[in-house]
Amino acid sequence: MSKRIACVTLDIESDLLDKSGRIHMFENTDLMRRYSTIVQKHKIKVTGFLVTSLIEKYSAEIGRLSHTIPIEFGVHSHSHERRLKYFADEVSSSIAAYEDFFGAPPIGYRAPNGLINREGIISLIENQFKYDASIFPSIRMDEYGYSNLHLPNKPFRFVHSGNEIIELPAACLDTIRLVFSMSYIKFLGLDIYKTLMRFFPLPDVVVLDSHPYDYYTNRIAANIRGWKRYAHLRNGDKAFEVFESVVTLLQEKGYEFMFMSELYKYVTDLPKPPTVSVEKLR
């Protein structure tokens, strides 16, 4: 896979730990304008993964965003429920809400906090999703801990009894598998990544994870406790600048920006994407 492709993804969910289900970006024209300006200036394409229970509340804003920037939508569960025993329910509710609004079924899914297991992938296959974007091929040490170091750090096919779904995993640096997402980049600083990339380069396909609240953590800091408060607040007032630097870096490295649906098509046309049995998941 020699072509370099970058997908900017935005998990459209309520702000971190906001119990009222608010998305500040959708209620503040300045935040919306700053985000859209960067996307337009650099001709980026954005794939928004929607928590579908928020569609009704923010239908006007979702519509406005679609008219302002190049954006397509996938699903980020129905209610951001993380408990895996509710996974299948979340999938079916999200499809109903998505179809109700867009008039067509969704093709891409990202599970909350990257939490997905064997049954979860099977449920996506059964519900005709074309691709999944839940896998972070890294290791996570907080309360949502997982280890996906045994999975490829590039697009692959998840297969299960003759059926398959394309996995488009989140970007990690080669070998050390450090996640390359807006939250992590803000926390560690882009300069550290630039140094590490000399030895552990980005993969040819970069799926960049982000959330609306990544751009204004300083406004919602009261919701966050402990070390995560510190982590999220780092570079909190410079988030838009960091985003623009990330985009510029990817452009300098020759990445072409695509929607996730375009990346999905590209991967399906490749002669031999790696194949992984669903049994490899917990």
Q: Is 209 in the site for Zn ion (CB under 5 A)?
A: no
The piece of 9-17, 96-104, 124-132, 171-179 that touches Zn ion (CB under 5 A) is: 9-17
Q: Which of 6, 9, 11, 185 binds Zn ion (CB under 5 A)?
A: 11
Binding mask 12-51 for Zn ion (x = CB under 5 A): -x--------------------------------------
Q: Is 114 in the site for Zn ion (CB under 5 A)?
A: no
The piece of 91-99, 110-118, 132-140, 247-255 that touches Zn ion (CB under 5 A) is: 110-118
Rank residues 155 and 212 by Cβ distance to Zn ion and give the closer one: 212
Q: Minimum distance between the CB of residue 74 and Zn ion, rounded to whole angstroms?
A: 12
Q: Is 81 in the site for Zn ion (CB under 5 A)?
A: no
Distances (CA, A) of 124 to 87, 121, 197: 10, 5, 34
Residue with tokens 């031999």: 272
How far, in Å, CA of 29 to CA of 223, rounded?
Answer: 22
Going by DSSP bridges, is the β-strand pair 163-167/156-160 parallel, antiparallel, or unpaired?
antiparallel
Which two tokens mark 234?
Answer: 């780092």
Q: Minimum distance between the CB of residue 49 and Zn ion, rounded to whole angstroms?
A: 8
**Sign of the Cα pseudo-torsion (148, 23, 213, 20, in order):** negative
**Sign of the Cα pseudo-torsion (241, 242, 243, 246, in order):** positive
Contact between 4 and 256 (Cβ < 8 Å): yes
Q: Which of 112, 155, 212, 273 binds Zn ion (CB under 5 A)?
A: 112
Rank residues 51 and 276 by Cβ distance to Zn ion and give the closer one: 51
Contact between 27 and 21 (Cβ < 8 Å): no
Rank residues 112 and 203 by Cβ distance to Zn ion and give the closer one: 112
Q: Which residues bind Zn ion (CB under 5 A)?
A: 11, 13, 112
